[in-house]
Amino acid sequence: MKEAKIIEQTLIPVALIAGNIALSHFIYLLAKGDYNSPLWATVICIIALTIGILRGNKYLLIGGTGFYSIVLLVAICL
């Protein structure tokens, strides 16, 4: 019960925020013609987040959000 509450009220909203940013990032990389590792990492994150949101899977939600945060931080810092 508590786990379902955390998934619905915290993990999914945070995953949706990450998903919004990841989608824009993905389209930007496509438009830039940058088909290197950041693009594929972003695609993997988007897939993980989408499945996680639709199935309410906490591992995919945490993994997808965490991994994408790292991808984004690396993109900003480099």
Partner 1 sequence: MKPINKHKKDHKLLWKIHHWSGLYAGIVIGILCFTGAVAVFIPEIDGLIQSRYYSVHAATPAPGQLFKIDQALAEAKKQYPKMSGLLIDMPDKPGRVATFSFAVKGKDKASSKSYFLFVDPVKDQILGSWDRQNSLANYLRQMHVRLYEGFWGRQLVGLAGVAFIVVTVTGFLIYGQFMKKQTYPKVRRKGMRILMGDWHKILGISALAFNFVIACTGAWLGLQPKLMQWFDIKAPNDHDFPKLMKPKADAATLVHWDQVFLVLRKEFPDLKPGYLRASEDGTSTIEVHGSIDGQIYEKNINALVLAKTSYKPLFKCDVRTMSFSQRFYSVQEALHFGDYGGLGLKIVYTVLGLTSAFLSISGFVVYLYRTDKKQQRRMSPWKTTFVYCLLILIVLVVIALISMFIGYRQASAVAAWLVNGSLFGYIIYVIVVAILKKRNSNTKSIGI
Binding site for partner 1 (CB under 8 A): 5, 8-10, 12-13, 16-21, 23-24, 27-28, 30-34, 53-54, 56
Instruction: Please choose, from the candidates 72, 57, 75, the residue with its C-alpha nearest in 3D space to the C-alpha of residue 19.
Output: 72
Long-range contacts of 36-40 (CB under 8 A, 24+ apart): 38/71, 38/74, 38/75
Question: Smallest distance from the beta carbon of 54 to partner 1, in angstroms?
Answer: 7
User: CB-wise, 18 or 41, nearer to partner 1?
Assistant: 18
User: CB-wise, 31 or 59, nearer to partner 1?
Assistant: 31
